[in-house]
Structure 1
Amino acid sequence: MRPRALVYGDVDLNMIDGSAIWAQGMVQALARAGCEVTLVLKAPVRTGRLVDPLRDLPGVTVRSPHAELPIDRPMAPKQAAAVLADLDAATPHDLVVVRGREVAAKLSAGPLAGRLWTYLTDVPQSAAEFTATAKAELHRIADASRVLLCQTEELRGFLENAVPATAGKSVLFPPVVVLPDGLEPRAPGPPDRRELRLVYTGKFAPRWNTYEMTSLPRLLAIRGVDAELHVVGDKIHADSSDPGFATRMRTALESGEGVIWHGGHPRAEAMRLTAACDVGLSWRHPDMDASLELSTKVLECGTLGVPVVLNRTPMHERLLGADYPLFAATEDDVLDALTLIGKNPDLFTLAVDRCRTAATDFTLDAAADRLRKYLTQTFPEPSEKVLSVKDRPLRVGVAGHDLKFFTRLLDYLRSRPDMEIRVDHWSALKAHDEDRSQALVDWADVVICEWCGPNALWYAERKRPDQRLIVRLHRFELYAHWPKKLNIDAVDQVVCVSPHYTDLTREITGWPAQKVVTVPNWVDDEQLDRPKLPGAEYHLGMIGIAPSRKRLDLAVDALEHLRREDPRFTLFVKSKLPWDYWWIWQKDDERAHYEKLFHRIRRSKLLAGSVVFDSYGRDVASWLRRIGFVLSTSDDESFHLAPAEGMASGAVPALLPWPGAETIYDSHWIHETPQTMATAIASTVSEGRWESEATLARTQLQTAYALPKVCHQWTDLLSQR
């Protein structure tokens, strides 16, 4: 059955700008990805130039509330939220794709919460703008969203750091570029006519430098370059900080020297006009250099074979290369670049090739493939093992005080149509609502206790004879007193995360061997697979350094050896600090260990400035972009997820031989001492093997611990009778 998608953008499809083009592209990509799509319009239809092509698509329905209800103006966010809720109540949808922070905030408090696929753009893009109110609103939106669609990697990383609730839900959905049927890109090669044709399409606003663009033909003529500026669009912004802008802008469009204003046009015609020109303009005010968004117009021009003048930013350098010839910051830069390529065919050809190559990742097919993957993850097809009981879905209860290691497994179980899930979230290790817990016992076919603690003891005493009880045990509980008190006869399966701890559990508890099984920790490899930042191969990483058995001191030993030969090596630590844990800092030996270590780091000339402590948080995937090696130097671990997460991110794992490490990780990554670890790291980088080693590590991770693989193992476990 095709997923049903409801789409709403807080955008006016009567006007051509990036947000309106988003709505077109999103509808087309969802339809191509296999959805039945209903697009709801914000504003009354005054021109069909953007809407009419969508009405003709199979599987797409366009709803205009203004034609169906007594509404005669663009809908406000509160009104739009009410209309969307009513439409969904009449015909339920599987996902609701929404663009616009204010309308998403309204929807997050309504019946569509949990099904939102929120496209985030209009968010504060600096720490200074990120007020407590904005952060709280975005947190509510994230909690209510099943998926958060981010236009760029930069935006995703910023959000995950600023709003932890977005971590794990944020996925990339870059702009979509669709060429209208029959439109041919610009003919290859440099301009074959006397004048250089410049083009701008979109809205007219002060920070978009649209007024300044109208002077370019006149200024280029002074330099001996004949040029025309072709302008498409009719949306002139009224700017409260510059009341005269709209008048000046219109006058320049109507009477500027060498300016040809085509007015508003359907998108296909706007793109046809662009393809008939030589150079696109996306030069903006420096205030916008920190933008976390990518201009759709840049990508459209690239697809059409039209090179673009734009600001030099890290994002644009990654897109087009640092040596791209049409970067510009000032008006003089723009004039210099246009004069240069107007007289240098080779540079013009280089600019065209860069833009065309960059645009290939933003096609409709690429967008549909991304959405198809996200849809499959969100709505998985039942496996060959359909988990039903008496012709109804299997009822699975999950109980525990801390579900952080179970979150994505829980998402997977909830997404299966052959399961019904309820959660008994204990408020603390020993505190819970007994009535709610008993209701779960009365309802469930299977109960999963996350942690072998008081929750497992409680459910083992009350389990029904026809009910299955699965307990997941971590290192923390194995050496506590709860396993000794557990009624193991009432437990069907105890799950450990590594073969070593499975053996230890059998040995320490004396439980029947067949009841203790291994299902490894999951790693969300799709979320962690992000492009590395420049210089990552010289960056070591550790996640979690407390208590002292995590052995940060041994990682510092390895770093010291590396820096004797190459001072570029740096250790990044993402962790709470030991004094943030009262139960650690109250111990004299723990405190003494860290005081000695921090004194060493502070006083050593070799280590000065080489150990960076980053704040603890859920933005691990974003943080790992800068990390080339993830270290595991502990005395003891049950699994140690950090190296596995590093492998998924494209980092190389480096471990010391803690007990059982070889049962989880390939011995290729395990080193006897910090010195041999440092030697291996140094040779991997100096011999140019870092990328190939990272690829090997990622392949191993996907084979053993990727989230879908572990989810299928849990499906097998739950299917047992």
Structure 2
Amino acid sequence: MSRKPRALIYGDVDLNLIDGSAVWAQSMVQALSLAGCETRLVLKSPILTGRLIDPLAGLPGVTVVRPHEEGLLPGLTDRPLSPVQASEVLSGLDQDEPCDLLVLRGRRLVTRIVADRAFAGRIWAYLTDIPQSAPEMTEDARSQLARIATASHRLLCQTEELRCFLETWVPEACGRCVLSPPAVPDPGFPVPDHDRLHDPVRLVYTGKFAPRWNTLPMTRLPALLAEQGIRAELHTVGDKIHDDPAHPEFHATMAQALRGTPGVHDHGGQPREEAMRIAADCDLGLGWCDTTLDASLELSTKILEFGALGLPVVLNRTPAHEALLGSDYPLYVPGSAALPDAAEAVTRAVRDPEARRTAADRCRAAARRFTLEEAAARLRTQLHHAFPSAPDALAARPRPLRVGVAGHDLKFLTRLLDHFRALPGLDVRVDAWPALARHDAAASRELAHWADVVVVEWCAPAAVWYSRHKRRGSRLLVRLHRFELDAEWPRQVDIDAVDRVVCVSPYYARRAQEATGWPESKITTIPNWVDTEQLDRPKAPGARFRLGMIGIAPSRKRLDLGLDVLEKLRARDRRWHLSVKSKPAWEYWWIWKKPEERAHYDDVLRRIHTSPLLEGAVVFDEFGQDVASWLRRVGHVLSTSDDESFHLSPAEGMASGAVPALLPWPGADEIYDRRWIHDSPEAMAEAVAGLVEETDGPGDPWRAAGQEARRQARETFALERVAETWTELLIPR
């Protein structure tokens, strides 16, 4: 994109009140500005205080839109915009100046915008108020999220855990979910040294006041600590007290506690920088919540802000906090996390300087990963993928290059198609054949007549048809995989009408030339693409001892050899397991009708149930698009096939940081580094075991091998690189 992307931002949040959602809106505007966007922030409510808006004044390319003050809708009162009104305002702004992306926060709001359909394909939805556990994920909720995912260009997820949960339950979200964790600005002032405590000790809480955030029990901490001989006071910053229908008395009781509790100093609502100044002058941050939030898949912004200030934080032991700060973080609230337990954790922080220093160092190190600059870098990457720049040869054309894509099965082209559609200078249309040899001939003729270049996926009947109906002056590219070589279609193609045959590996390029006699000059090799950005995720605990196989049908995929490897590993260490992500063979009619295929799987399944070494060690996971989240649990991806044209799963595993292990099927060594290829299941098991014999640490061979595999995947198979190669092939020279 030659100009800066234009972003509209709207959150179902009131920027007069300081809480995590309001701070999100401010941070998102700052990060988009840093990333190079022209950004318009649309306000939900009339502005009564500029605490959150004023810091945005003067940022490059930022405009604040005030619908109430500007009279953008007739009859607006001082009430906040409803989702229906917000949709109308945003549509009007888009008509006046079209946006490239609409960043939204709030499930109810996003649902309304999606229903109105004006922004389909441009929505970048930030969702936290969604079901975050299996019991909460009703079919209605799943269907609603599926509609949101389908209409969205990106789904912004605060944590890896939330991303994986969403992808598992909502297949439509796969490939669209990207990380967008909280962003914390660097303090704009010198941060004091926290080695020496104040007297009294200063505890601090910033944010909203709500029952599950334990803000009312916090006000009792100074009195409880005094009973243990510790003089303490609580400093609070915030002005949003929840009206909770389940606790109707909470608002009044909380307000009274802030005003009248000895030892509590309430600073009210403050600009973000001033709130950070107040916190920096304290000794200990409070992130202690009700245990009902322990399973939350979100990340607290206040913990990161405290960390940026060098403050140690008292907080619950949760999976998210252990991932952030480590399982041995010294200031977790012990026991059931009741008020006395919180007081015990504060007492430890006060009386154990080493624990306090360790906690401060951990929080400080964690916060460094969540700066505004890091948020801007993530957005810059996503914007580059969403709005790629046109090559000079395309930009110089007087009109867009017309690209037709045809075939019966386009699953291997999906992300390439997304790239082509996003690329300035290309006009893309698709002729999707409903079956291998069935199509709408009139539609195909129209495409052949219209297109400057046609790409046919699979050298099958579609390739035959287009080679016989090519328009003079147009170009024809055909991609050949493996199964077509065993059929007559390649020999039926009019090769004189084909400008290039694209194969996915050098071995199959040679086989195609040998089998057909086509001119070698017409055959080129472009590898399959891998979305390395999506697959690059942290490994789950225990991944180093888990093998993975993706796709085990038909029998030439050789699950039996994978079981050989697993048995040899478990003979040494029972921690080894195998996860298989695949449709069962009986769901493929063309496989299951063959007696030899049924016999193979009968033998394999019987072996899994009867082998003492395999008992409880093989897990069959549902086939689906959530490969990226599934690979987090896998440390080694096996390819034990008799033959493959490319075999995508080792490349996907490499991009995830898993170590590939392949048997030497024909052509494997021309796609993958020979270090990953082993002569036999025995040699494969030996090599895999050798990577995990040493303990985890800086010299960990398994992690080092995974990092090298990831580097190779990025250099060879990355979607962006493959898309650039295809784009060069599309452009006539």
TM-score, normalised to structure 1, is: 0.97
**For the Cα contact (< 8 Å) 1:498–1:518, is it kept in 2?**
yes
Distance 1:417 1:125 in 2: 38
**Counterpart in the other structure of 2:705:** 693
How far has the Cα of 1:477 moved from its partner? 2.1
| Amino acid in the other structure paired with 2:56 | L
**For the Cα contact (< 8 Å) 1:312–1:327, is it kept in 2?**
yes
Distance 2:192 2:633 in 1: 39
Distance 1:212 1:613 in 2: 47
SS at match of 1:147: strand
**For the Cα contact (< 8 Å) 1:630–1:654, is it kept in 2?**
yes
SS at match of 1:382: coil
| Amino acid in the other structure paired with 2:24 | W
**For the Cα contact (< 8 Å) 1:198–1:227, is it kept in 2?**
yes
**Counterpart in the other structure of 2:91:** 85
**For the Cα contact (< 8 Å) 1:388–1:419, is it kept in 2?**
no
How far has the Cα of 1:179 moved from its partner? 4.0
Match of 2:25 among 23, 30, 36: 23
SS at match of 1:13: coil
**Counterpart in the other structure of 1:233:** 238
**Counterpart in the other structure of 1:14:** 16
How far has the Cα of 1:365 moved from its partner? 0.9
SS at match of 1:421: strand
**Counterpart in the other structure of 1:372:** 380
Distance 1:435 1:79 in 2: 44
Q: Any unmatched runs of 5+ in structure 2? A: 695-699
SS at match of 1:583: helix
Match of 2:45 among 37, 43, 46: 43
Q: Do structure 1's residue 333 and structure 2's residue 341 form an aligned pair?
A: yes
How far has the Cα of 1:380 moved from its partner? 1.7
**For the Cα contact (< 8 Å) 2:532–2:652, is it kept in 1?**
yes
Deviations 1:103-138 (A, max 9, x none): 222222422111111112111101111122211221
| Amino acid in the other structure paired with 2:191 | P
**For the Cα contact (< 8 Å) 1:387–1:419, is it kept in 2?**
no
| Amino acid in the other structure paired with 2:299 | L
Distance 1:641 1:149 in 2: 27
**For the Cα contact (< 8 Å) 2:288–2:314, is it kept in 1?**
yes
Q: Do structure 1's residue 224 and structure 2's residue 210 form an aligned pair?
A: no
Q: Any unmatched runs of 5+ in structure 1? A: none
SS at match of 2:14: coil
**For the Cα contact (< 8 Å) 1:50–1:266, is it kept in 2?**
yes
How far has the Cα of 1:384 moved from its partner? 4.2
How far has the Cα of 1:489 moved from its partner? 2.1
- The Cα RMSD (Å) is 1.5
Q: Do structure 1's residue 360 and structure 2's residue 368 form an aligned pair?
A: yes
Q: Do structure 1's residue 175 and structure 2's residue 182 form an aligned pair?
A: yes
Deviation larger for 3-12 or 693-702: 693-702
Distance 1:698 1:445 in 2: 37
| Amino acid in the other structure paired with 2:164 | G
After TM superposition, the structure 1 = structure 2 runs for residues 362-401 of structure 1, keeping only pairs within 5 Å, are: 362-386=370-394, 389=397, 391-401=398-408
Distance 2:395 2:308 in 1: 47
Match of 1:612 among 609, 619, 622: 619
Distance 1:385 1:318 in 2: 47
Distance 2:187 2:364 in 1: 17
| Amino acid in the other structure paired with 2:43 | L
After TM superposition, the structure 1 = structure 2 runs for residues 372-521 of structure 1, keeping only pairs within 5 Å, are: 372-386=380-394, 389=397, 391-521=398-528
SS at match of 2:678: coil
Identity %: 59
Match of 1:252 among 254, 257, 276: 257
Distance 1:330 1:185 in 2: 32
Q: Do structure 1's residue 705 and structure 2's residue 712 form an aligned pair?
A: no
Distance 1:354 1:84 in 2: 42
Distance 1:106 1:450 in 2: 38
SS at match of 1:542: strand
Aligned CA distance change for structure 1 residues 190 and 481 (closer, same or farther; 3 Å): farther
SS at match of 2:120: coil
How far has the Cα of 1:280 moved from its partner? 1.2
How far has the Cα of 1:180 moved from its partner? 5.7
**Counterpart in the other structure of 2:697:** none
Q: Do structure 1's residue 102 and structure 2's residue 108 form an aligned pair?
A: yes
Number of equivalenced pairs: 718
How far has the Cα of 1:31 moved from its partner? 0.4
**For the Cα contact (< 8 Å) 1:190–1:349, is it kept in 2?**
no
Deviations 1:639-678 (A, max 9, x none): 0000011111111110011111111111111111101100
SS at match of 1:342: helix
Deviation larger for 431-440 or 540-549: 431-440
**Counterpart in the other structure of 1:124:** 131
Match of 1:279 among 284, 287, 294: 284
**For the Cα contact (< 8 Å) 2:331–2:355, is it kept in 1?**
no
TM-score, normalised to structure 2, is: 0.96
| Amino acid in the other structure paired with 2:452 | D
Distance 2:405 2:579 in 1: 36
Distance 1:430 1:18 in 2: 55
SS at match of 1:470: strand
| Amino acid in the other structure paired with 2:15 | L
Distance 2:493 2:528 in 1: 23
Match of 2:352 among 344, 349, 364: 344
SS at match of 2:692: helix
Aligned CA distance change for structure 1 residues 75 and 427 (closer, same or farther; 3 Å): farther
After TM superposition, the structure 1 = structure 2 runs for residues 582-601 of structure 1, keeping only pairs within 5 Å, are: 582-601=589-608
| Amino acid in the other structure paired with 2:27 | G
SS at match of 1:318: helix
| Amino acid in the other structure paired with 1:294 | L
How far has the Cα of 1:394 moved from its partner? 0.9
Distance 2:419 2:170 in 1: 23
